[in-house]
Each structure stands twice: as structure tokens, then as C-alpha cells.
């Protein structure tokens, strides 16, 4: 019953920006944390950024200072503002939500981000 719908991916030149969105469809559930992961062809899925229910954010070192994770006031949509994009940022980006009371992780379907040099 929990669905995550991602959008905002696309093709951008190096140095450009994209803003990813992940909207959660919920009933009476509570999102405890949300995060972004990415996976390039041939690579393992990599954690990129996360935000807790209290708003604490964390980032993988490679995106610090360039990416910003945030949530809306309802805490049902998470965003990833990506600035100063590099070709190595090219990947499929997935959002994840940790949901109570089940304490279960839900994943979005992914959105492609391609950064050209």
C-alpha cells in the first residue's frame, strides 16, 4: 500500500543541476526516514543521502557540498537537489522510505540521471 514515485531525472551537461522528487502514497503510515541511492551499470547500489524524521541529513563524501536532501512539510515527499553535476554522478537514482509501524523499507522504481561531459 506504500508507493514511492520518483521524477526529475534527465540528461544534463557537467556542471548543471537537477532536482529529483520522490512522493510517497500513504494511508495511516508514518515515514521515519528517507534516502536516496544510486546504481550505475555494473556497479552495486550506493547510498547517496538520507534524512531522518527529525531532519538530520547525511551524505556520501562524494556528493557533499553539491547535493542537498530535503523533505516537504508533510514529510511525504523527499527531494534531492543536485548541483555541479559530474559525469560520475550518472546512474539510476532510487528513493527509499522507512515506514512505521511496520518498520519496513520501500523503494521507488528509479529515475535515470545522465551527466555528459
61-90 CB burial, b ≥16 within 10 A, e <16: eebeeebbbebeeebbbbbbebeebeeebb
- pLDDT of amino acid 61: 98
With CA atoms as reference, report the closest residue to 81 among 108, 106, 48, 104. 48
Cα Rg of the chain, angstroms: 14
pLDDT band at residue 103, thresholds of 50, 70 and 90?
Answer: very high
Q: Mean per-residue pLDDT for 64-92? A: 95
pLDDT band at residue 76, thresholds of 50, 70 and 90?
Answer: confident
pLDDT band at residue 35, thresholds of 50, 70 and 90?
Answer: very high
- pLDDT of amino acid 1: 75
Q: Residue 73 above 90 pLDDT?
A: no
pLDDT band at residue 75, thresholds of 50, 70 and 90?
Answer: confident
Give per-residue pLDDT as tens, 49-67: 999 989 999 999 999 999 9
Q: Residue 28 above 80 pLDDT?
A: no
Q: Percent of the chain having pLDDT more than 70?
A: 100
Amino acid at each position: 500500500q506504500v508507493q514511492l514515485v520518483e521524477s526529475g531525472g534527465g540528461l544534463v551537461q557537467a556542471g548543471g543541476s537537477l532536482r529529483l522528487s520522490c512522493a510517497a502514497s500513504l494511508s495511516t503510515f508514518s515515514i521515519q526516514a528517507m534516502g536516496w541511492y544510486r546504481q550505475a551499470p555494473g556497479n552495486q547500489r550506493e547510498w547517496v543521502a538520507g534524512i531522518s524524521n527529525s531532519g538530520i541529513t547525511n551524505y556520501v563524501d562524494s556528493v557533499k557540498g553539491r547535493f542537498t536532501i530535503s523533505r516537504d512539510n508533510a514529510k511525504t515527499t523527499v527531494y534531492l537537489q543536485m548541483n555541479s553535476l559530474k559525469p560520475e554522478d550518472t546512474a539510476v537514482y532510487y528513493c527509499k522510505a522507512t515506514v512505521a509501524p511496520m518498520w519496513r523499507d520501500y523503494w521507488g522504481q528509479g529515475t535515470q540521471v545522465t551527466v555528459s561531459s
